[in-house]
Structures are given as C-alpha cells and as structure tokens.
C-alpha cells in the first residue's frame, strides 16, 4: 500500500509540472536539470481530476485560468469549486440578484476553459472556517476524487481567500494527503501577500483564452483588474520563468519531500 502511494505521489508530482512547468532552482535560474516538461510526456495517458478552489467566481480564472486551460486541453477533467457565489459584491443589488448574475458569469467562464462549476454554498464576505464547513468542503473536494487541488494562498488581505485556502488545506490533511496541493495568487501586493513560488506554468499559448474567461466576469470590472494586476503579473512571472507569460504556484509538499536540501 505504501509503495503504491509513494509511486502515485511521484507520478502526480511530475504530471503537475508537466504543463510547461518550470521547477525553479534555489537562485531562481532554470538549469539543465529542470527543463520545461511537456504534458503528454508525464501523464502517460492517465486522465487526471483537477479541482481548483476559489472563494468567489473569478478567483480560479484570474489566479490560474491559463493552467486550467492547459489541463482541459490535455484531456484532463477540471472542476472549479466556488466557495461562494460572490453575492456581496454590489451593495445596490440583493444577494439573490447578485448570486444569479455571478453564477451565470461563472458558467460562461467555465465553458471557455472547459471546466465544471460547483458551488459550495457559503456566503460572500462571511465565509466560515469551522468544523461543519471544513467537513462540507472536504466532502465536496473528495467527491471529485482529485489528483491535484489548486487553492488560494491563505496569506491574503481578503478573509474569504484566507478561509478558502485553509478549507482546501484541511481537506488535504483529512484525506491523508491523497492529492497534490498547489496554492495560487490573486491581485498580488493588494490581496495575496508573502507569495514565493515554487513552480511556474508557461501560459503563453493560452493567454487569450484565459483573458476571455476573466472577461466573462463582466460585473467585476475585468479590464481594470486585468490591466492593473493580472497582465503585469503574468508578464513578471513569465520573466522569472524565461517565457512570455506564466502563472506561479506554491507546491505544498509533504514533510518527506521537504527534506531534500542539497548537501544535507
């Protein structure tokens, strides 16, 4: 059993980096040992279940829409788990009106990325991290039988983003670390903080599709958000990874994987 689990972990680790990911050396330079890998070479024909968890409609798309497009293009199943429906984002509308609008936008956006939308039913601006909500989120995530889960980095100015990151982390712990866990960033500098990436995915080829998915969220001033945050961020992460545009992640590794410092 242990052997299988270990083989599976290694397999998934490679495949998660298999979408043009760059494993970055300690000084941030790409080396011969850490090339950009390609998807088909590492998944060996296995269809992976990818779950991307976000607090609000738009978080998964803005944070990692390019990576998700690459997964779905490679034939893997992508699910977006929205913890809320973004119902509090316009004080001039009722929660029900706003939830309906933003659910529609999420559905359009998911179509662009070939993802399945799932809603956890928490309330925007009032998400909770307690025993009941953790159990609910763990159940929802587990029901998708994920090989990899992406979620928000919890060191973030927005309380809903904090809760979302920790709900997925709890699901990972409760499942016995049965899936690989990656954190993504949104509106870095204003929302996400203290984010030091471990992995980068080249999104140059799917940048326009990601943009279409982001712009489906019409109620969220997508043009302003894109120009102020995500375009410069994709450019900057691209510079770090020596490609035109990239998304960056923190791969949350099990303890055994952490003890691999060269020379020790």
Interface positions with Zn ion (CB under 5 A): 55-56, 59
Rounded least distance, CB 212 to Zn ion, Å: 19
Rounded least distance, CB 185 to Zn ion, Å: 12
Rounded least distance, CB 68 to Zn ion, Å: 16
Task: Indicate the residue among 70 and 217 with the shorter CB distance to Zn ion.
Answer: 217
Question: What is the phi/psi pair of residue 40, to 5°?
Answer: -65, -25
> Positive or negative, the Cα torsion across 175, 178, 179, 182?
positive
Q: To the nearest 5 percent, what fractions of the chain are helix, strand and coil?
A: 45, 15, 40
Task: Indicate the residue among 55 and 171 with the shorter CB distance to Zn ion.
Answer: 55
Rounded least distance, CB 127 to Zn ion, Å: 10
Task: Indicate the residue among 217 and 237 with the shorter CB distance to Zn ion.
Answer: 217
Task: Indicate the residue among 18 and 66 with the shorter CB distance to Zn ion.
Answer: 66
Residue of this chain nearest to Zn ion (CB atom): 56
Rounded least distance, CB 234 to Zn ion, Å: 18
Task: Indicate the residue among 7 and 157 with the shorter CB distance to Zn ion.
Answer: 157
CB-side neighbour CA atoms (13 Å) of 227 = 3
Token code pair at residue 259: 């003890």
Terminal Cα distance for the chain, rounded:
29
Looking at 85-206, list the stretches that DSSP marks H as alpha helix, in order from N- to C-terminal side: 95-113, 131-143, 159-174
Closest among 205, 162, 203 to 186, alpha carbons compared: 162
Residue 182, C-beta contacts closer than 8 angstroms, at least 6 positions apart: 16, 148, 149, 150, 151, 199, 249, 250, 251, 252
CA 65 to CA 145: how far, in whole Å?
21
CA 16 to CA 35: how far, in whole Å?
14
Rounded least distance, CB 179 to Zn ion, Å: 22
Rounded least distance, CB 55 to Zn ion, Å: 4
Task: Indicate the residue among 55 and 245 with the shorter CB distance to Zn ion.
Answer: 55
| Count of all residues that appear for the chain in the document | 264
Task: Indicate the residue among 55 and 163 with the shorter CB distance to Zn ion.
Answer: 55
């Amino acid at each position: 059993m242990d052997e299988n689990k270990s083989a599976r972990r290694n397999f998934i680790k490679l495949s998660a980096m298999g979408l043009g990911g760059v494993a970055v050396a300690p000084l941030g330079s790409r080396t011969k040992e850490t090339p950009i890998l390609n998807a088909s070479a590492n998944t060996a024909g296995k269809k992976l279940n990818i779950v991307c968890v976000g607090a609000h409609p738009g978080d998964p798309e803005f944070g990692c829409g390019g990576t998700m497009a690459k997964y779905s293009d490679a034939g893997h199943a992508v699910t977006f788990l929205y913890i809320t429906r973004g119902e509090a984002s316009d004080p001039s509308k009722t929660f029900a009106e706003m939830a309906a609008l933003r659910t529609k936008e999420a559905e359009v956006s998911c179509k662009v990325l070939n993802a399945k939308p799932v809603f956890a039913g928490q309330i925007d601006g009032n998400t909770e991290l307690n025993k009941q909500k953790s159990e609910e989120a763990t159940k929802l995530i587990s029901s998708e039988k994920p090989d990899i889960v992406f979620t928000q980095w919890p060191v973030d100015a927005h309380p809903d983003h904090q809760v979302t990151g920790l709900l997925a982390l709890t699901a990972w712990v409760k499942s016995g670390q049965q899936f690989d866990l990656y954190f993504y960033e949104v509106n870095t500098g204003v929302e996400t903080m203290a984010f030091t990436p471990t992995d980068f995915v080249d999104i140059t080829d799917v940048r326009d599709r990601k943009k279409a998915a982001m712009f489906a969220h019409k109620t969220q001033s997508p043009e302003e958000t894109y120009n102020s945050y995500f375009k410069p961020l994709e450019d900057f992460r691209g510079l770090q990874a020596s490609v035109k545009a990239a998304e960056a992640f923190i791969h949350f590794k099990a303890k055994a994987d952490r003890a691999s410092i060269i020379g020790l």
